[in-house]
Each structure stands twice: as structure tokens, then as C-alpha cells.
């Protein structure tokens, strides 16, 4: 019997783990299943004594195109699934945002809508030169605004979420949205170099620093996705 491929690949290596979104045929769209798998993986990694940092990247040439829009169509006519969709969304945003250890997005291509949010919810970002960042969902729905504002400030956040501006990789670097831009085939080497710098610190220091960053940003636990 053929088994459906895993939508999330989890690879551990000493003091860090890599989560790879694995729906290339759907441009790594964040389905309920994939969001739940990310949440489950992060919960498990948070409990591992050796873990210090988690890298998140995508399979193929797209980081993530955002939430799986076909599921919103299904939810419109299915109240039970609609509740499942939003419960999954709220848990996912909460888990990624409040993960107690540092997170690094290795943005291997376009990060759009919820994929843009995922990159922004991480503590650090490295981008392939093929990456771009945009919020196309602004034309039909609410946007996760707060974490983006926290990184780039109100003026640019409004341009991206209200004005429809898009950023290529070099522009994202210029506004400090990403810390580094590299060639596509150098992305994971650059991510590992960043990981090496992060894990040089003791775990307890990393946890306290991450907690300070979250406290300074003022994110309350239990905030619904669309209230962020």
C-alpha cells in the first residue's frame, strides 16, 4: 500500500534540529495537517535536553505559499472542519511564536502570506537570493500584523500589509528583515554557520534571552491568530 509522504521532515543533529516543510506540489502550503505536525514537532523538541535551536526551511524552490486556501473553501461549508482549521491555526501560531528556544528560518524561496508569517515568527532569518516576501492575502482577508511590525516598524509593516509592497531578498536584507542573503546552493551551509554561533551559548542563557525578547514584544499567550 502506498503511504502519503510526510508533510514535515524532522532531522536532528546534535544540538539542533531541522524542520522541512515537505509539500512541494502545493508550494509547501500550510495545511491543517502540516501546521499540526509543526506544532507537535516543536512541542517534542522543546522537551529535549540537548536541543538548543531549530531551523525551519522548505522542500523545493518555495519556502511556503501560505495557508492552504482549498481548506478555507472546505471550511466555508463544514462547521466542524472550520473549527478544526482555526484551532489548528491558533495552536500553530502560539507554538511557533512562544517556542522557548531560538528558531532560524532558512528561506529557500518565496515566503508568501502565512509563509511570510512563519519566517517572521522565527527569531532569525537567512534568505536565498531567490526569496521574496509578500502578503497577497491582504486582498481578501486579515493579516498577522504584530510580529512583522515588531521586526521592521510600523511604516514598512503598513506598506507590506496595506499598501501591497513586496520585497525581494536584497530589499529584505536592506531593511533588516533577513540577516543574510546567499546563493540558493549555499543556504543550508549558511544556516549551519548561524547554528554554530547560536549553540556556542549555554542553553539556559538562550532560553532566558528568548523569553526577554518575547516579553519585550508584549505577546500574550493565548492570542488568537487573527488578533496578532
In sequence order, which residues have a C-beta less than 8 Å from that of residue 42 and are 6 or more positions away? 19, 54, 95, 96, 99
Q: pLDDT grade, residue 92 (50/70/90)?
A: very high
Superfamily the domain 8-227 falls into: 2-enoyl-CoA Hydratase; Chain A, domain 1 (3.90.226.10)
Q: Return d(Cα 175, Cα 157) in angstroms, integer.
A: 11
Q: pTM for the full model? A: 0.95
| pLDDT computed for residue 73 by the predictor | 87
DSSP-derived 3-state class of residue 57? strand
pLDDT surpasses 80 at 67 = yes
Nearest to 134, CA basis, from 72, 66, 197, 191: 66
CB atoms within 10 A of CB 228: 21
DSSP-derived 3-state class of residue 184? helix
pLDDT surpasses 70 at 225 = yes
Strands 111-112 and 103-107, sheet pairing: unpaired
Q: Which of 71, 94, 137, 166 is catalytic?
A: 137
| pLDDT computed for residue 78 by the predictor | 86
Does the active-site annotation cover 137?
yes
pLDDT surpasses 90 at 53 = yes
Pick left, alpha or beta for residue 202 (phi over 0 → left; psi -120 to 50 → alpha; otherwise beta). beta
Calculate mean pLDDT across residues 198-205: 98
Q: Where are the domains of the chain?
A: 8-227
| pLDDT computed for residue 148 by the predictor | 97
Provide the grid cell at 10: 524532522
Amino acid at each position: 500500500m502506498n503511504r502519503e509522504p510526510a508533510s514535515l521532515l524532522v532531522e536532528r543533529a546534535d544540538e539542533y534540529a531541522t524542520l522541512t516543510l515537505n509539500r512541494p506540489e502545493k508550494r509547501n502550503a500550510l495545511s491543517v495537517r502540516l501546521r499540526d505536525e509543526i506544532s507537535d514537532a516543536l512541542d517534542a523538541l522543546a522537551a529535549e535536553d540537548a536541543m538548543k535551536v531549530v531551523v525551519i526551511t522548505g522542500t523545493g524552490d518555495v519556502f511556503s505559499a501560505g495557508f492552504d486556501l482549498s481548506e478555507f473553501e472546505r471550511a466555508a461549508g463544514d462547521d466542524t472542519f472550520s473549527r478544526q482549521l482555526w484551532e489548528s491555526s491558533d495552536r500553530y501560531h502560539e507554538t511557533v511564536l512562544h517556542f522557548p528556544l531560538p528558531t532560524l528560518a532558512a528561506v529557500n524561496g518565496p515566503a508568501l502570506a502565512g509563509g511570510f508569517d512563519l519566517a517572521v515568527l522565527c527569531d532569525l532569518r537567512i534568505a536565498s537570493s531567490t526569496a521574496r516576501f509578500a502578503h497577497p492575502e491582504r486582498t481578501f482577508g486579515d493579516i498577522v500584523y504584530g510580529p512583522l511590525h515588531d521586526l521592521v516598524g510600523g511604516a514598512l509593516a503598513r506598506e507590506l500589509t496595506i499598501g501591497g509592497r513586496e520585497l525581494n531578498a536584497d530589499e529584505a536584507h536592506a531593511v533588516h528583515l533577513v540577516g543574510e542573503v546567499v546563493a540558493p546552493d549555499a543556504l543550508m551551509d549558511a544556516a549551519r554557520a548561524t547554528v554554530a554561533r547560536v549553540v556556542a551559548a549555554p542553553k539556559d542563557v538562550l532560553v532566558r534571552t528568548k523569553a526577554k525578547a518575547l516579553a519585550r514584544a508584549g505577546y500574550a499567550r493565548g492570542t488568537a491568530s487573527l488578533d496578532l
